[in-house]
Amino acid sequence: MTKYIFVTGGVTSSLGKGIISASLAKLLQSRGYRVTIQKFDPYINIDPGTLNPYEHGECYVTEDGAETDLDLGHYERFLNTPTSKANNITTGRIYQNVINKEREGAFLGKTVQVVPHITDEIKRNFRILGENGEFDIVITELGGTVGDIESLPYIEAVRQFRWEIGSNNSLVIHLTLVPFLAAAGELKTKPTQHSVKMLLEYGIQPDVLVCRTEHHLTNDIRKKIAQFCNVNINAVIESIDAPSIYDVPLLMLKEQLDKTVLTKLKLPHKNEPSLENWKDFLGRLKNPTADVRIALVGKYVELPDAYKSITEAFIHAGAKQECKVRIEYIPSEQLTPENAVEKLKGMHGVLVAPGFGERGFEGKIQAIRHVRENNIPFFGICLGMQCAVVEFGRHVLELEGANSTEMNPDTPHPVIGMMEDQKNITLKGGTMRLGAYPCDIKKGTKAAAIYGKNHISERHRHRYEFNNDYLKQYEAAGLTPSGINPDNGLVEIVELKNHPFFVGSQFHPELKSTVANPHPLFINFVAASLAYARKK
């Protein structure tokens, strides 16, 4: 029978439920268990696809085209296994499903209520991944903090679910804060006690407490927390601030979180965790032999979480190259023809980030012109690739006013246009070209050398595309379409001849980079930036 682990949070948000869930999953996976993680978010949006990145960080896209919470990116990067739409559920999705059933008459005239109908739908979603036979353990992270109004149905659903599946088949890990009061010079356990007390009021006794702290927990403090929160002392786990999220699995191993969990679930302690590759990655990450400065030009740079997968992909690629990647965030709105050279001074590579809308578009064009003309390594992702196409059209092909129809619907040269199947869509949510699509790579190109194969699959999230009416002009002038979708002929990758590294991808390669498999485009971009840095 599949076992279920629920991860809840108290006291404050941002304690790191996602990283703890991913770290525990990594430890259990390394012991030979088949593990997956799902995230339940209490907001009423159907998915994060329509949320401003400033509100919620980046929107992560799965293989099957679900727009999901950025925590799913952590799950994939740690476990090296893909997630799906079943791994991220929101309150909006839960209510939508229940309301659709009510409209169909599925409840036979009954009054539809939060209990039992909403809680039953939540429990049905708890089970989906556990019932397909693929996993021994399903970890479910509940967003928000205990005591939030919107979290109540989830907590109640967990209470009912645990009662239904019987003892030893599930456990609750509660993340909480043990703050340090500088004036008193001591750690305080009261916030943790209150948080557990609130959980108990809802009928749930946590089995394990993970205590986020800036200072080590003494044995006396662990004893006090155990006594007042009704848990074993070995189930009080210290989660101290770490230099990198990738340290957390080893910190949890030291705290024996995986052993405690397996004991409580009555599961055998299979092999000791096999973490040699992980330790090798950490060794490379922490002992770089060189460093490079790469500019990330985007419109949401004030919140680094808006580009979380890109920054993590740089960490993976940097470790592979034994190189520290120093990312310099540059707001695209601040770039002008007059200051682009100054703003990008000292950079060894420039990545122009994905995004939507006109704000900062012209700044990205200026950045690309500078790196193209000065042979500085360039990598454009999604809108970043489209900007490269517009810039090349304007300044090399001399197509005056060349633009994307997203920015100027009346442009005389629509080198980037809306995809045909997107033109009649009026709804915003979940309607873009989403998820994994195939791509054929032309032999003899830089892309072919980077991937080492001619057929790949990458994840997408866009409405606009390269306009194939201009294809021959671009190719003749040296901007090669080196990756093409075999089903519809859409351009997926462009690259510039006679340039150390100038590559744009319509897809999002950062979404497939993991600790175990850093993405080849990022590895090669970092290598090109390193080569440029050494020449300087």
Q: Which helix (H) or strand (E) holds 435?
A: strand 433-441
Confirm or deny that 259 is annotated as ligand binding. no
Confirm or deny that 473 is annotated as ligand binding. no
Token look-up 């790579």 returns: 441
Confirm or deny that 33 is annotated as ligand binding. no
DSSP code at position 48: G
Confirm or deny that 270 is annotated as ligand binding. no
Confirm or deny that 110 is annotated as ligand binding. no
Q: Which two tokens stand for residue 506?
A: 């319509």
Q: Which two tokens stand for residue 147?
A: 């005591």
Confirm or deny that 149 is annotated as ligand binding. yes
Confirm or deny that 426 is annotated as ligand binding. no
Is 174 in the active site? Answer: no
Confirm or deny that 289 is annotated as ligand binding. no
Contact 491, 466 (CB under 8 A): yes
Confirm or deny that 250 is annotated as ligand binding. no
Q: Which of 117, 316, 460, 508 is flagged as catalytic? A: 508
Q: Which helix (H) or strand (E) holds 524?
A: helix 520-535
Confirm or deny that 362 is annotated as ligand binding. no
Confirm or deny that 128 is annotated as ligand binding. no
Q: Which of 238, 391, 465, 510 is flagged as catalytic? A: 510
Confirm or deny that 71 is annotated as ligand binding. yes
Is 229 in the active site? Answer: no
Confirm or deny that 13 is annotated as ligand binding. yes
Confirm or deny that 170 is annotated as ligand binding. no
Task: State how far the Cα of 141 lies from the Cα of 21, in Å rounded to an integer.
Answer: 7
- Max Cα separation, the chain? 75
Query: In sequence order, what DSSP letters do the residues of 135-174 get, joined into one string?
Result: -SEEEEEEPS-TT-GGGHHHHHHHHHHHHHH-TTSEEEEE
Cα distances from 327 to residues 320, 324, 491, in angstroms, run 17, 9, 28
In Å, how far from its chain's centre is CA 100? 30
Q: Which of 382, 387, 413, 492 is flagged as catalytic? A: 382
Contact 270, 259 (CB under 8 A): no
Confirm or deny that 383 is annotated as ligand binding. yes
Confirm or deny that 5 is annotated as ligand binding. no
Confirm or deny that 15 is annotated as ligand binding. yes
Neighbour-count burial for 218-255, b at 16+ CB within 10 Å, e otherwise: eeebbebbbeebebeeebbbbbeeeeebbbbbbbbbeb
Confirm or deny that 99 is annotated as ligand binding. no
3-state SS assignment for residue 515: coil
Q: Which helix (H) or strand (E) holds 76?
A: helix 71-79
Query: Cα dihedral sign for 333, 335, 338, 343?
Result: positive
3-state SS assignment for residue 390: helix
Confirm or deny that 16 is annotated as ligand binding. yes
Confirm or deny that 349 is annotated as ligand binding. no
Confirm or deny that 279 is annotated as ligand binding. no
Neighbour-count burial for 365-384, b at 16+ CB within 10 Å, e otherwise: bbbbbbbbeeebbbbbbbbb
In Å, how far from its chain's centre is CA 440? 26
Confirm or deny that 18 is annotated as ligand binding. yes
Q: Position 341: which residue type?
A: V
Neighbour-count burial for 49-76, b at 16+ CB within 10 Å, e otherwise: bebebeebbbbbbbbebbbbbbbbbbbb
Confirm or deny that 193 is annotated as ligand binding. yes
Is 382 in the active site? Answer: yes
Confirm or deny that 355 is annotated as ligand binding. yes
Confirm or deny that 242 is annotated as ligand binding. yes
What are the residues facing 8 on neighbouring strands? Answer: 174
Neighbour-count burial for 142-158, b at 16+ CB within 10 Å, e otherwise: bbbbbbeeebbbbbbbb
Confirm or deny that 444 is annotated as ligand binding. no
Q: Binding site residues for Mg(2+), as ranges?
A: 71, 141
Q: Binding site residues for CTP, as ranges?
A: 13, 148-150, 188-193, 224
Q: Binding site residues for L-glutamine, as ranges?
A: 54, 355, 383-386, 406, 463
Q: Binding site residues for ATP, as ranges?
A: 14-19, 71, 242
Q: Binding site residues, as ranges?
A: 13-19, 54, 71, 141, 148-150, 188-193, 224, 242, 355, 383-386, 406, 463
Q: Which residues are catalytic?
A: 382, 508, 510
Q: Binding site residues for UTP, as ranges?
A: 13, 188-193, 224
